[in-house]
Structure formats: C-alpha cells, structure tokens
Amino acid sequence: MYRQARYDRKMIFEKEGETDFAMPIQEELSDAVPKTMIRDRLEIPSLPEREVVKHYTNLSQMNFGVDNGFYPLGSCTMKYNPKYADTVSSLPAVANIHPYQAEDSIQGALQLMYELEKALCEIGGVEAVTLQPAAGAHGEFTGMLLAKAFFAHKGENRTEVVIPDTAHGTNPASAAMAGFNVTEVPSSATGCVDLDALQSAVSENTAAFMITNPNTLGIFEEDVQRIAEIVHGAGALLYYDGANLNAVMGWTNPGKMDFDIVHFNLHKTFATPHGGGGPGAGPVGVKKHIEPFLPVPRIVRKNGRFGLDYDRPDSIGKVRPFFGNFAVLVRAYSYILRMGGDGLKEASEKAVLSSNYMKEKLKGVFDLPFKDLRKHEFVISTKKLKEQKDVRALDVAKRLLDYGLHAPTIYFPSLVEEALMIEPTETETKETMDQYVDVLKKIADENPMLIRSAPHNTSARRIDEVYAAKEAILSWRSFKKKENERGDRPSEEDKGECTLCRSIVGDMDSLKKRIGRSVD
Amino acid sequence: MGIDRSMLDEIGISNIEELFSDVPIGVRVDGLNLPNGLSEMEVVERIQSMLGSNLTTDDCPCFCGGGVYHHFIPSAVKTIISRSEFYTSYTPYQAEISQGILQALFEYQSFIAALTGMDAVNSSNYDGATALGEAATMCHRLNGKRKFLVPEAMSWEKKSVLRNYAWGPGIEIVEYAFDTSTGELSAEDLRSKMSEEISGVYIEVPNFLGVIDSQIASIREDIKDAALVVGVNPISLGILKPPGEYGADIVIGEGQVLGSPMNLGGPLLGIFATRQEHVRKMPGRVIGLTKDVEGERAFCMTLQTREQHIRRSKATSNICTNEALMAVAAATYLALVGRDGLRKIAEVNIGKARSLMKSVGELDGFVSPVFTGYHFNEFVMKPPIEPEGLNKHLLRKSIIGGLPLDKHVPRLGGHMLLATTEVHRREDHERFLRALAEVS
C-alpha cells in the first residue's frame, strides 16, 4: 500500500538555529550605500546547513515525480527523464559560461545549439529554428509575434486568430497577448475541426489558425490538408502547437502538413525534466517565408567557425535575453543523440501503442467519446460514475493518488464531460499500465464515500482550494499580517471553516465507524 | 527497446502501421533523416568533447555582468534541486501529492516577499526581462493607460523584450535620461516626461550602470499616480531598503544570482512581486496557503481564474511552464546564507567593486569610475582603447572582460561595464589589473 511521507508542516520561517554560513573576512564598510537606502531589518531565517538540507529533503519526500511512479498527465508528456542528461547539463562547460562571452570562447556551446536547430528542422519539417523561447507558451507568443511581423511587413492589417475549442488554454492567451482578437470555432461531431465552421471563421482579417495535431482528444486531424487549404486560401498562416508532437515523429511532421510556424516543447517530446513546473524550452520553427522575422541572434556557421548574426533588419528582436534555456537545450540534444532518427520514430510508435492499449482496456468501463483510434493520448469520461454514484472526475483523480499513481489531466478538453485525459508515454511498461487500468476499474467499484473523501494516503488530505482563493495568502509575511489582524492565533471557527470540508470529514468519520477499520 | 508484441496482440492490432492509418498518405514522411542513436557512453563523450572548447569561469575570472553574474553557490543548493521528487514532477495540479514542491515554492514566494517588502509574489516568470514585459502590461491592466517610462540606460536586450510584450496591447515605451555625472536617474528629465497618460514608471536599483540611486526613496513624489515598477538585484536587498517601503506597486528582478549557475544565460529566474491589492491582476502561477479537510496547514495553486487554462484569451498572462526549479534553488540559497549571510555577501560585493573601480582608475589612460554615485557590484569605466579590443586582449590572458556599452547605451560608446563579486580573490583582481595595465 502506498503511503506518502508526512512531516510536520512547519515553514522554514518557523525554524530556529545558528547559521554556519561564512564569507572570507572583509573590512567593514561604514558607508556602503546611501543613507536614504539603508535597510532596517530583513526577516528571513538564519539556520545551519544541516537544518536547511533536512527541511528541503523532507519536503521533497512529500512530492511525487516521474521517478516515483506513473505520471500519465495528459498533454504534458511526462516521459522518463534519462540521467545522462543530468550529467551533461551540469558540466562546467555548460554551467560556468557567461552569455556575453566572446564567440571564440563559446564555440562548443554555439555548435551544440546549431546542431540542435538542424535536428529540430528535420523533426519538424521546417527550414529554420530559434531556440530562444523559454517554454511552450513562450514559443506560441513568439510565433504570434512572427505572424504579426510577417503581415506588418506585407502591409496587411490582420487582427484575428482562430482557434478550435479543444485548444490548450495557452493558445488563446498567447494570441491575445500579441494583440490579436481570438475567435474560437466549435469542434464537429467527430471531435475534430469543423471544416465548415473554419471556412466561415477565416477571412482577410485572419492572421493565423492555431492547432495541435493530434488534437487534445488524441485524435489525428485527418482533414489537415483541407484545413491548410482553407487557412492559406484566406491568406492566413497555420500555426502548429507542438505539445503533441510525441505522437507523430518520423511518421509525419508539421512542415509536411503545411504548417508555417511550429513550436516544440523540449520538456515534453525531448525528455527534459519538468522541474516541478519548469524550466522548459519552447523553440520555434518556421518555413522560409517567416525566417527573416526570427529573433536575434541567429547562429551561423562560417568557415568552420560558429558565430552570432544580429544583422537581421526584419527580425522581431528579442523574446528573452541571450539564447534560451541553454542547460535545457543541452539535455534535449543529448536525448536526440541517444535516440537517433529511428529511436525517435520508435518512441512515437510506442507512445501511440501505449495509449491505444490503455484505451482498449478501459473503454468498457468508462465512456470513450468520439472515434476509436487515438494517438499518444486519449480522453475518457466518468460521466456514468457521476450519474450513478455522485462520484466526479476530480474524486477519481484524488483516489488514484492513494495508490501511488498520479492522476490524469481532468476536465480538459471541456467538450468532454467529466474528462480524464490519459497520456502514458512510451517509457512505461505493460505491467505499469495494466496496474493503472486495474486500479481505475477497482475505483469504479469502490464505496463512493471512500472516493469522495480521497486522498487518504498522501501528505495532505483533500485540500480546501476555496479557502486558498478567498484568503489569497501568497507569502509568510502576508500570513503573519493576517494573523496579527485577527489577534495572536487563528480563531477556532477558522479550523474546518468551509462547509464542504466539514461534510467530508463527517462522511469519513461515519464511514470509519461503519466499516470498523481505517480506510487506507 | 522495441515494440511489445503482446500489447499489439491483446488489442487485436496486427502491426504498428494500423495505429497510424489515420495519418493521410499525402502528409507522411519516411522516418527521420538523423544519425543512428548512440550509447550513453558515446553521448556523454560526444557532448563533453564538443563543449570542451568553451572557456569557463573555472579557467578564467569573469568580469562581465550586465544581467547574469558569477556568484558562489553553496553545494547544498545542488543537492536539493537534484532531488528527483522535485525535478521530475510538473506543475502541482494535484496538490495533495505535491505538498513538497508547493511548500518550497510558497517559501520562495515568502523569501522574495521579505526581501522586496511586498505581500504577493508569483512562483516565477522566465527571467527578469520577460518579468518587465509582464509588469508593463500589468500596469496597463491596473489603470488602462498606455505609456510606460523606462531608463535610457538599460540593457538593449531587455528593451527589445519589453517592446515585444508592449506591442500587443499597444503600449508606448518612453525613455528618461540618466545624470551624466552621478549615473543616477535624471529627476529633471523624469519629471518632464511625467503626465496624466503615464501608466507606469520603471526604475532599476542598482541600475544598469551599477549605481544605487540615492533619490529613489522619494521617487513616489515625482511620479504621482503612475504605477511604480522597481527592478532589483535580489542580493543587493540584503542591505538595501525594500522597494515596498518606497511605494513600489510591482517589483521584478533577475533571480539567477540566487543559487543558479550562469548557464550561458538560461535557465534564469524572473522575480515578480506586487501589493496585495493587485494580486488578481498579476501574471503567473501563485501558491497559496490553505488547509486540508483535517484542518492541517497545506498549500495549493490558487487564483487560477486569472490563468490561461481557465480564462483563455482573457487571462492575465499565457504563462504555463515557468522556472519553478530555479525558484526552489533561490529558496534554498536564501535559507542557507540566511539574513546575515545575505547582507555580508552584499557588503563584500560592494567592497570588491569599490576597490576594483579605484584601482582601475589609477591606471594610466583609464577613467574609473565614470560615475560618482554609490555602486553595487558593477561600474562603468572608460579604457584607453576600444572596449572590444580590450576584451580580445584580456581573453588572450585568459580573462573574460566586461560588457562594451555602445550597443546598450549609445551615448556611452567606448565605455565598458565591469562586474565583480565575492568569487573574485585578491589575486584575480591583481591579475586583471596587470592585464589592463598592458594596454594603458
């Protein structure tokens, strides 16, 4: 039985000790800073290294990563992160170089980025790549700026971006940040882009249509050629959200599907770790007609030397300083070298097989809306559980955690009710997937109270998100202020204040009594 | 490697091709034209030998800053961020099984709140420059105005990033000058640029020229109702007044200095903090303090209705993947050095810069420091030869030189920005000065 560590919830700010940090002796400065700018006090802890390491090691044990177990979080491609990438990305030749060093002193780094760009060109079917964007959404934003620059250069004022309703939320957000009005088009009855709706949505005002293929249901948009004709027919650009690229490497590519701009998520497709939320990297690839607008610098090769070209008059400039998340780029390139062309193709094949395998095993138990054949992920609905037992997708997700399994993405895409979006990736064994399927089947038969009150075995029990949003306490400083406003300690009503929590705790107590044992 | 046949058999599929039957023939490609895969041993060897030609700060002292700095990193920082429970997890959508990263990020937010004197901090932006871009658009959300004032003396890369973030909402970027004698901002010029139309004013402390401005504490009087955005070097806040005490609405900064290596400039860490009353307008993921059903203290992502996955095109930002691991590194770093350690590091940086700028100024033909203001760990000097040529000379002596300013601040052409930190020993300074003397 899985049981996650539970340590006391003390903050580092509540711990006490004597620091053992030291700096080499230096003479005191009597006038280090202007008098008007001197700090009175700094309220951060002062602890010995031993206490700090214990604190954060204990916290890490209250966390679940891919190394702990199965993490089939749909759309996030939580594949295993090979450890040779840790070795190469922490080399001094990666860590200890300054971005403003002369080109001659960073030839190796420039070569690596140059070769990575070339590899991504082949994988994406594009003609040029910039490694600058720091994340997938940042790549989308960059792509939208490129579209804006492209049309500005042509003297066309196109103000709209069209997006299907199944798109990742970052798509409309990125387009809006770049100043576009966003039009969402509904999907057809097959879960794919509705060609008629698309045809009537695009016009001479449309700058781009953003899609991911396979889409977020894991369905390959078979009409992609027709989509490209419609979009290009209106003079607009076709944008490929590379979040789902892990499904199709070596079988097709965005360039071949006639996309103009594409972003890659190196932390998904190319196995760089997700870092608890980041860093990632979101390179952008483009066809020839967009290349002049790419961010500066471009990495160029001349007479066997690598250099940086800033002389690009039509470039959009910078989307972040320097060259991108270099340490992440090193990881991704080492993965590409390790896999090779055939290995990457096989990774996609296995990812698709895993997904279809799990889907087949689950489709009798849960509803599978839309067609059968899926790519690297699939979406099932727990609608029946809701109708029959008042158990929601959220409850199923929380109950999975009790078994030491990470939950799928839930409630997305929104056109599927009670959605569970499962992406097993290619790195999990049949045994791991069978276990997940068995647990999901078992949960479907469990006592609904047990599911609704889950999780039981994790470091924290069901969390009160409403309270978090209402109080909006985002720092220890803010917590202390609120505490002071209320008097020395939080009032008694404050404990279990939310009625939802009370009812769940009540549920659990009666359940424990009835079945006469602990529920874990 | 290889396909597990039994899986195909169990789901009644005869071959892999069947699983790709939905990919139209017209868009198919025949595999990837990339080299064959290598063994792990070969991969490591290949990358090591490719990168072997990089010159690193292990071999050469580095006197370049301009946004990224070589600082000492206590070993325990790497120990903590190498915990794979942290680095192989993702954004903590399932809070109950992710309390560790959530608490670590909440503590990061708390450390930054303490340093900056703000209440609300997000769990990271990509870097200081994109944080500035997001700050400018947030100012527009706060007051609906569309003119944003920035210092003339600022990294051109940061200006370029800012212009790209400002492009969509149509925010006009206007520059105010610096005082050519002190290196502080020109209060006169700033006042002359102020008007009802100004949405926000951005200042940097220390500024791009390395100067700690002595007039900042009363800046609010000059900028009236406009939002005040302050860009900080978080290490300097070990000794400097927190921007919350002089009226900042938003504090941003580059957090790489807090426990992350330079990594050729990435990953970095974008600091973003604001006042409590503005929290619902801020970008990025935020971690909130809450409790679980047993009433125990707990943490979760909160205020998500601002975010892209809920609000879509109306979101305050598109940010999804951020720099969480660098934020954990920052929290660990700050916990390790502690309150006295951070002040000490700040003092050592000031002391080193003060001594180096004076010594450089004593060399024939060098003007240093060019500005009379107080400095943190960077300063501007004017060498007797072109900065680019000087850097070439230094590189031959295995020294990474400073940042030529012509591209960043055109009227400081011929000048160079030098940085020094606690990692430089007296011998490093001496070696550097000897190499400089050779061109004087």
User: What is the spatial distance between Cα B51 and Cα A114, in angstroms, rounded to a whole number?
Assistant: 13
Contact: A274, B321; criterion CB under 8 Å: yes
Contact A132, A296 (CB under 8 A): no
Task: Specify whether B342 is located in the same domain as B300.
Answer: no
Compare CB distances from B321 to A27, A137, A174 and report the shortest one's residue: A137
Please count the residues of chain B.
Answer: 440
- Which one, of A275, A240, A248, A216, lies nearest residue A423 by Cα? A216
Both B244 and B350 in one domain: the answer is no
Boundary (domain end) residue, out of B332, B348, B379: B332
Compute the radius of gyration of chain A from its Cα atoms: 26
**Cα dist from B276 to B242, B293, B304, whole Å:** 16, 26, 16
What was the pLDDT predicted at A29?
Answer: 81
- B33 within a domain of the structure (yes/no): no
Are B351 and A29 in contact (CB < 8 Å)?
A: yes
A399 to chain B, minimum CA–CA distance in Å?
11
Residues A308 and A362 placed together within one structural domain of the fold: no
- Say yes or no: B323 and B351 in one domain: no
Residues A50-79 pLDDT 10s? 999 999 999 999 999 999 999 999 999 999
Statement to judge: residues A152 and A290 lie in one domain: yes
Mind listing the pLDDT tens digit of every residue in chain B (440 residues)?
578 899 999 999 999 999 999 999 999 999 999 999 999 999 999 999 999 999 999 999 999 999 999 999 999 999 999 999 999 999 999 999 999 999 999 999 999 999 999 999 999 999 999 999 999 999 999 999 999 999 999 999 999 999 999 999 999 999 999 999 999 999 999 999 999 999 999 999 999 999 999 999 888 888 989 999 999 999 999 999 999 999 999 999 999 999 999 999 999 999 999 999 999 999 999 999 999 999 999 999 999 888 888 888 888 899 999 999 999 999 999 999 999 999 999 999 999 999 999 999 999 999 999 999 999 999 999 999 999 999 999 999 999 999 999 999 999 999 999 999 999 999 999 999 999 999 98
- Encoded amino acid at B412, one letter: L
Sheet holding B416-419, edge to edge: B378-381, B416-419, B403-404
Which string of b and e fits A66-93 if b means at least 16 CB within 10 Å? bbbbbbbbbbbbbbebbebbebbbbbeb
- Domain for residue B38, yes or no? no
CB within 8 Å: A459 and B83: no
- B191 occurs within a structural domain: yes
Q: How far is it, in rounded angstroms, from Cα B289 to Cα A464?
A: 10
For chain A, the average pLDDT equals 93
Give the count of beta carbons closer than 10 Å to the beta carbon of residue B14: 8
The Cα A98–Cα B394 span in angstroms is 15
Round the CA-based radius of gyration of chain B to a whole number and report it: 25
Q: How close B134 comes to chain A (CA, Å)?
A: 10
pLDDT confidence of residue A495? 44
In 3D, which of B378, B405, B409, B383 has the Cα closest to residue B394?
B383
- Distance (Å) from the alpha carbon of B24 to chain A's nearest alpha carbon: 6
Q: Tokens 């990435």 correspond to what residue?
A: B266
B138 touches chain A (CB under 8 A): no
User: From the list A169, A338, A469, which residue is nearest B302 (CB)?
Assistant: A469
Boundary residue ending a domain (B282, B297, B332):
B332
Which of A169, A345, A463 lies at the smallest CB-CB distance from B308? A169
Contacts of A208 (CB under 8 A, 6+ apart): A143, A144, A147, A161, A162, A175, A180, A231, A236, A237, A238, A239, A261
Q: How far apart are CA B238 and CA A483, in angstroms?
A: 26
CA distance A124 to A284: 10
In this predicted structure, what is the pLDDT of residue A518?
41
State which of A339, A365, A394 marks the end of a domain: A339
Q: What is the rounded CA–CA span in Å between residue B286 and residue B300? A: 8
pLDDT for A517 beyond 50: no
Of B68, B240, B347, the CB nearest to A29: B347
Considering the domain architecture, whether residues B140 and B234 belong to the same structural domain is answered as yes
Same-domain check for residues A165 and A304: yes
pLDDT computed for residue B228 by the predictor:
98
Q: Does one domain contain both A291 and A439? A: no
Residue B305: per-residue pLDDT: 84
Please check whether residue B373 lies inside any domain of the structure.
Answer: yes
Same domain, B134 and B214: yes
B317 in contact with A, Cβ within 8 Å: yes
Does position A496 have pLDDT exceeding 50, yes or no?
no
Task: Based on the fold, state whether residues A190 and A306 are members of the same structural domain.
Answer: yes
List the 173-202 stretch of B: residues with Cβ below 8 A of A: none
CATH of the domain at B301: 3.40.640.10
- Look at residue B313 and tell me if it is in a domain: yes
A179 with A172: CB under 8 angstroms? no
Chain A CA closest to residue B401: A101
- Domain identity same for B416 and B292: no
Residue-range definition of the domain harbouring residue B130: 76-332
Rounded distance between C-alpha atoms, residue B265 and residue A24, angstroms: 27
| Tokens standing for residue B136 | 């400018």
| Residue A344 tokens, joined | 């990457």
A229 lies in a domain? yes
My answer on whether A8 and A90 are in the same domain is no
Would an 8 Å CB–CB cutoff place B247 in contact with chain A?
A: no
- Residue at token pair 């599911």: A451
- Specify whether A359 is located in the same domain as A480: no
B266 and B136 in one domain?
yes
- DSSP class of A295: P
Euclidean distance between CA atoms A92 and A323, whole angstroms = 18
Residue A492 pLDDT class (50, 70, 90 cuts): very low
B40 touches chain A (CB under 8 A): yes
Same domain, A335 and A358: no
Does A271 score more than 60 pLDDT? yes
Residues 285-314 of chain A with CB under 8 A from chain B are: none
Can you tell me the ipTM of this complex? 0.97
CATH assignment of the domain containing A101: 3.40.640.10
Claim to verify: residue A6 and residue A132 sit in the same structural domain: no
Does a structural domain hold residue B139? yes
Domain total of chain B = 2
Domain for residue A72, yes or no? no
Q: Which pLDDT score, from 0 to 100, does residue A412 have?
A: 92
Whether residues B281 and B382 fall in one domain: no
Tell me what pLDDT residue A514 has. Answer: 46
Chain B nearest C-alpha distance from A103 (Å): 10
User: For chain A, what is the domain count?
Assistant: 4
- What is the spatial distance between Cα B368 and Cα B363, in angstroms, rounded to a whole number? 9
**CB within 8 Å: A277 and B392:** no
Domain that holds residue A11: 1-21+43-63
pLDDT tens track for A160-196? 999 999 999 999 999 999 999 999 999 999 999 999 9
B134/B267 same-domain check: yes
* HEC secondary structure over B114-171: HHHCCCEECCCECCHHHHHHHHHHHHHHHHCCCEEEEECCCCHHHHHHHHHHHHCCCC
Q: Is residue B320 located within the same domain as residue B392?
A: no
How far does the CA of residue A387 sit from the closest CA of chain B (Å)? 24
The pLDDT score that the predictor gives to residue A488 is 56
The pLDDT of residue A516 is: 42
| Same domain, yes or no: A354 and A217 | no
Looking at the domain assignment, is residue B65 inside a domain?
no
Asked if residue A495 and residue A440 are part of one domain, the reply reads no
Q: Say what the pLDDT of residue B217 is.
A: 85
pLDDT in tens, A191-239: 999 999 999 999 999 999 999 999 999 999 999 999 999 999 999 999 9
Please indicate, yes or no, whether residues A293 and A407 belong to a single structural domain of this protein: no
B262 and B349 together in one domain = no
